[in-house]
């Protein structure tokens, strides 16, 4: 059985934000399956800041996507045909599906694929966000990289986004005083009223630094950093001596080529420990997922997603990570679940 597969191929490397013109939309029939292969209908694509990094020819933790290659992307899909021993038609799977309607699953490359339970305990988009890679990242950052202690002040940047919203809520569960940084009054209200943060600071406001100082009267013990640039600089200036930074991401750099900070002397003066990390390295991902699912199902943590539609819109939807026009996990629905 063959299907028409629409694929988004990287045509040119974007400068700044991504444009549709950076991609070619190609249609071609799905290939005949070989032994050990299954065909996966893509249901949801995870829209990740790292997609933007993968488009750039800069040093990074995986090779950049080559010109002419299908855009790399994490997603969830359903097996629609199978010649693989361990995958049957109907199975839900998660992996590097790519920006396309159908992905070829190769049993030999198991590292890239995970089978999901037939009836997942949470909605599929949540498995890409709070109970997926974003949640795992937040869990890793605050339990192993910079474990926050009860009574300490934790500051989280990009706090209304996917990783940040979970990091802040995990901080609350660990007994910290949690301050979120986000763009705009509505996101700040959301952090306090809906997610239970102790305080929120609008980095787009003229008095950002004064707001941050007022929200951190005892200084900052732990910074879960997602942004870099002026936001990170302002937080570092509020750190206590011996403070710890879980350096998760530097989204302010990804589309601009900017530098996180011109002045690192604060790291010396305040004897800070700054530790970069990649969630891929987390040894106990299953344990983290169990915690996260438990917290979401019991209502201890609120999961939120913004779901956009249409494979062809992937390049422009990705830009919402950079203009902030989403809350929680940004997900693209490629096809209906049924």
Ligand X SMILES: NC(=O)c1ccc[n+]([C@@H]2O[C@H](COP(=O)([O-])OP(=O)(O)OC[C@H]3O[C@@H](n4cnc5c(N)ncnc54)[C@H](OP(=O)(O)O)[C@@H]3O)[C@@H](O)[C@H]2O)c1
Q: Reduced to 3 states, what is the DSSP secondary structure of residue 185?
A: helix
Whose Cβ is closer to ligand X: residue 179's or residue 248's? 248
Report long-range pairs for 195-201 (Cβ below 8 Å, ≥24 apart): 195/165, 195/168, 195/169, 195/302, 196/169, 196/172, 197/159, 197/168, 197/172, 198/172, 200/159
Given a contact cutoff of 8 angstroms between Cβ atoms, the answer to whether 172 and 224 are in contact is: no
Q: Counting contacts by CB under 6 A, is residue 322 touching ligand X?
A: yes
Tell me which of 6, 189, 324, 335 binds ligand X, using CB under 6 A.
324
Cα 184 to chain centroid distance, Å, stands at 20
Q: Counting contacts by CB under 6 A, is residue 330 touching ligand X?
A: yes
Binding flags for ligand X, 233-262, as an x/- string (CB under 6 A): ---------------xxxxx----------
Q: Give the separation between CA 315 and CA 143, rounded to whole angstroms.
A: 34
Q: Reduced to 3 states, what is the DSSP secondary structure of residue 178?
A: strand
Cβ atoms within 10 A of the Cβ of 147, count? 13
Q: Reduced to 3 states, what is the DSSP secondary structure of residue 273?
A: strand
Given a contact cutoff of 8 angstroms between Cβ atoms, the answer to whether 328 and 190 are in contact is: no
Closest CA to 113 of 135, 99, 98: 98
Q: Counting contacts by CB under 6 A, is residue 332 touching ligand X?
A: no
Q: Give the separation between CA 154 and CA 231, rounded to whole angstroms.
A: 15
Given a contact cutoff of 8 angstroms between Cβ atoms, the answer to whether 330 and 320 are in contact is: yes
For ligand X, how many residues bind (rule: CB under 6 A)? 31
Q: Counting contacts by CB under 6 A, is residue 195 touching ligand X?
A: no
Whose Cβ is closer to ligand X: residue 52's or residue 172's? 52
Q: How far is the CB of 219 from ligand X (least distance, A)?
A: 22
- Choices 8-16, 98-106, 236-244, 317-325 (CB under 6 A): range interacting with ligand X: 317-325
Tell me which of 10, 74, 160, 199 binds ligand X, using CB under 6 A.
160
Whose Cβ is closer to ligand X: residue 81's or residue 331's? 331
Q: How far is the CB of 238 from ligand X (least distance, A)?
A: 16
Q: Counting contacts by CB under 6 A, is residue 134 touching ligand X?
A: yes
Tell me which of 103, 303, 318, 321 binds ligand X, using CB under 6 A.
321
Tell me which of 278, 287, 310, 313 binds ligand X, using CB under 6 A.
278
272's tokens: 């800070």
Sorted by sequence, the CB contacts under 8 Å of residue 269 that are 6+ apart come out as none
Strands 37-46 and 75-82: antiparallel
Q: How far is the CB of 43 from ligand X (least distance, A)?
A: 19
- Choices 77-85, 120-128, 160-168, 210-218 (CB under 6 A): range interacting with ligand X: 160-168
Which parts of 38-97 interact with ligand X (CB under 6 A)? 48-50
Whose Cβ is closer to ligand X: residue 64's or residue 324's? 324
Contacting residues toward ligand X, per CB under 6 A: 48-50, 134, 137, 158, 160-164, 182-183, 187, 203, 226-227, 231, 248-252, 277-279, 321-322, 324, 326, 330
């Amino acid at each position: 059985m063959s299907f028409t597969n629409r694929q988004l191929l990287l045509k040119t490397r974007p400068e700044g934000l991504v444009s549709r013109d950076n991609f070619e939309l190609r249609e071609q029939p799905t290939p005949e399956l070989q032994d050990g292969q299954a065909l996966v209908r893509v249901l949801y694509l995870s829209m990740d800041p790292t997609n933007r990094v993968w488009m750039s020819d800069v040093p990074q933790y995986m090779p950049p996507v080559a010109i002419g290659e299908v855009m790399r992307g994490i997603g969830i899909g359903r097996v629609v045909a199978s010649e693989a021993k361990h995958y049957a038609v109907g199975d839900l799977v998660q992996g590097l599906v790519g920006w396309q309607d159908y992905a070829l699953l190769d049993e030999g490359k198991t590292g890239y694929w995970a089978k999901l339970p037939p009836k997942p305990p949470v909605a599929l988009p949540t498995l890409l966000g709070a109970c997926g890679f974003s949640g795992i990242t937040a869990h890793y950052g605050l339990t192993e990289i910079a474990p926050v202690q009860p009574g300490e002040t934790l500051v989280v940047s990009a706090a209304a986004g996917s990783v940040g919203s979970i990091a802040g809520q995990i901080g609350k569960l660990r007994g910290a005083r949690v301050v979120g940084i986000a763009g705009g009054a509505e996101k700040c209200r959301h952090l306090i009223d809906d997610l239970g943060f102790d305080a929120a600071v609008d980095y787009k406001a003229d008095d950002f630094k004064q707001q941050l100082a007022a929200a951190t009267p005892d200084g900052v013990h732990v910074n879960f950093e997602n942004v870099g640039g002026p936001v990170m600089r302002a937080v570092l200036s509020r750190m206590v001596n011996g403070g710890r930074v879980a350096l998760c991401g530097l989204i302010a750099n990804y589309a601009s080529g900017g530098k996180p900070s011109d002045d690192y002397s604060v790291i010396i003066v305040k004897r800070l420990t700054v530790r970069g990390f990649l969630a891929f390295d987390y040894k106990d991902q299953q344990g983290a997922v169990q915690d996260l699912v438990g917290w979401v199902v019991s209502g201890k943590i609120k999961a939120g997603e913004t779901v956009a539609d249409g494979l062809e819109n992937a390049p422009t939807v990705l830009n919402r990570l950079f203009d902030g026009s989403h809350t929680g996990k940004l997900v693209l629905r490629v096809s209906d679940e049924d």
